[in-house]
A and B are shown apart, each in its own frame.
Chain A
């Protein structure tokens, strides 16, 4: 597979001034030593394959937006090179590059020229842009009279219609109403199917897992993890939880090990469950040393609140595993439940009746509950009826 973007040894240093000298007088009076170096990125290297969709995640201040700005050519890296092929469109902030005093039409032409389109090329896409943004009636109004939603729509419409080979998106899909967000995501999927390359910076881990086929996690300006979105999202979660001294990702004596965990909805979809659906969590065990008894437990933890939404343990559920000497399989079945959409993590544990930990994997397995159309969702309750004679 060919490389669409090659990021090679990128470092970016910012100078932080305690009090920035913005005038000559201050500059002469204040010595140079009052500025501090801050490395937003340090020797970041990775390749993005042609036609892949990469999610760039990390905590606030991890350098992901700085990296995206370097790729977009807005910031010049202190060291390193970035190479890419074809036209690159960046959506860093919706409405960026719009001038409030110009009309919608003029702004489309201005914005498209930033993305490298000539006037004639813009003429060709103009009608599609307007139709996508659904702003036919407002194109001759000055943009300063637009609502933020209208700006969002126009900005996204221009960016996706300039026919870029590489699309960079920073947190912009979070704006706009629900139907527009869905259309943006549809458009992003169409981009993927056309074999274009997408780099997405977001805090919405669900979107990364839903849309991207690769993810990179940055931490304090360095690449912390690269891999499949599930793995990287989990790493991010662990990194986040590791600030908690009680958090240990994996521990135990390993006399009996968890050899595999599968999460499957009743509809047969892995690692995902829809509201109103049931779920099966299958835990495979393997004994290295034969033990007289063991208990398997699980907990499903909401990623946003860090709160367990459902827990279970074999012993508490009245099931005894008996002696474990080779392999065993345990299935937890969760009946249909009104899952709230979002990301969850599943912890699995294995311990002895006297409380010795054999093996614990804390929040190791991601589970997604997709956003559902309200029409498709049924309330999982039965109405009752009363008849009264009056």
Chain B
């Protein structure tokens, strides 16, 4: 892996250029350009603020709740979908140029990361402006340190999975279709639009094989990651403990502990999927 990593670092310029190329191609010939990337969360904020106002959803500050999880999910889903196509879409590069093939899925992650960063800035600005401007319940910052940790977990986990789908999709083109189905199921298995606390209350009463179902639910690493994002961002405006619980009232050290477990597992997964990608990548030029 050492020489592999050196090779990758030597070609970092390719990665930068490919991300730039993808962004350029994505937003080229569009008048608004990268603003499109921003419009997505802004529209979400606007629509959900309105929906909540009309329907009287029982989650307070629902837009913040939704977006703190949804942005992370979007990053994962966009990375996987673009990553699955990354080798096939760049067939002309793979067949004609020599460079570490890992750069292609990494560039897909890079593009998704760019959008994620832009959208996160919108969300953070919204939190800051809305709650300062309209004198909300005040900021609750002690749990914000979770934010960089959970971003790191998300990055490692997403990269590992992206390597995996990118390599598989070259051999079996139905991985792309399968992925869309899997993402749909996975989305609803993750507490993004519904409240984690409701799930916990329900599942803790059910026992399967001596384990309570809530523990099984937390085997979904994305659920843990999303809970981490909500804990870091949503609890700025709605601290856990005050009033009706929305987020599962977990101890912060416990959540951080589970996150670190997910991180450790993701690092192992990244190592394995990278190696598998590398082993398969020698045949990419012929398989395309």
Contact = CB atoms under 8 A, between A and B. Distances in A.
Interface of A: 14, 22-25, 27, 69, 72-76, 88, 90, 92-93, 96-97, 99, 101-102, 106, 109-110, 113-114, 116-119
B24 A24 contact: no
Given A97-B92, A110-B21, A75 B285 contact: yes
Given A14-B286, A24-B172, A119-B13, A90 B98 contact: yes
Contact of B17 (A69, A73, A113): A113
Contacts of B97: 74, 90, 96-97, 114
Given A23-B172, A97-B97, A76 B282 contact: yes
A23 B171 CA distance: 8
B271 interface: no
Nearest to A71: B98
B98 A72 contact: yes
A69 B24 CA distance: 30
Interface of B: 10-11, 13-14, 16-18, 20-21, 24-25, 28, 92-99, 171-175, 178, 281-283, 285-286
* Pairs A-B, 8 closest by C-beta atoms: A76-B282, A96-B96, A73-B98, A113-B13, A23-B174, A97-B97, A113-B14, A110-B17
A69 B95 CA distance: 9
B98 A22 contact: no
Contact of B21 (A74, A99, A119): A99
Contacts of A72: 98
Contacts of A110: 14, 17-18, 21
Contacts, number: 73
Nearest to A90: B98
28 contacts: A14-B286, A22-B173, A23-B173, A24-B172, A24-B178, A72-B98, A75-B282, A76-B281, A76-B282, A88-B98, A92-B96, A96-B93, A97-B92, A97-B96, A99-B25, A102-B21, A102-B24, A106-B20, A109-B17, A110-B14, A113-B11, A113-B14, A113-B16, A114-B97, A114-B98, A116-B10, A117-B13, A119-B13
Contact of B11 (A75, A76, A90, A116): A116
Given A97-B96, A106-B21, A114-B98, A27 B282 contact: no
A101 B17 contact: no
Contacts of A92: 96
Contacts of B25: 99, 101-102
B200 to A, nearest CB: 36
Given A22-B172, A24-B172, 19 more contacts: A22-B173, A23-B172, A23-B173, A24-B175, A27-B172, A72-B98, A74-B95, A88-B98, A96-B92, A97-B93, A97-B97, A102-B21, A102-B24, A102-B25, A106-B21, A106-B24, A110-B18, A113-B16, A114-B14
Nearest to B96: A96
Given A102-B21, A106-B21, A93 B96 contact: yes
A90 to B, nearest CB: 6
Contacts of A90: 97-98
Contacts of B172: 22-24, 27
Nearest to B170: A22
A263 to B, nearest CB: 41
A73 B98 CA distance: 5
A24 B96 CA distance: 27
A104 to B, nearest CB: 14
A119 B15 CA distance: 12
A72 to B, nearest CB: 5
Contact of B99 (A14, A22, A24, A114): A114
A109 B20 CA distance: 11
Given A92-B96, A113-B14, A69 B285 contact: yes
Contacts of A117: 13
Nearest to A102: B21
A168 B67 CA distance: 51
Contacts of A23: 172-174
Contact of A101 (B24, B96, B285): B24
Contacts of A14: 286
Contacts of B10: 116
A113 B99 CA distance: 10
Contacts of B94: 74
Contacts of A119: 13
Nearest to A77: B282
B286 to A, nearest CB: 6
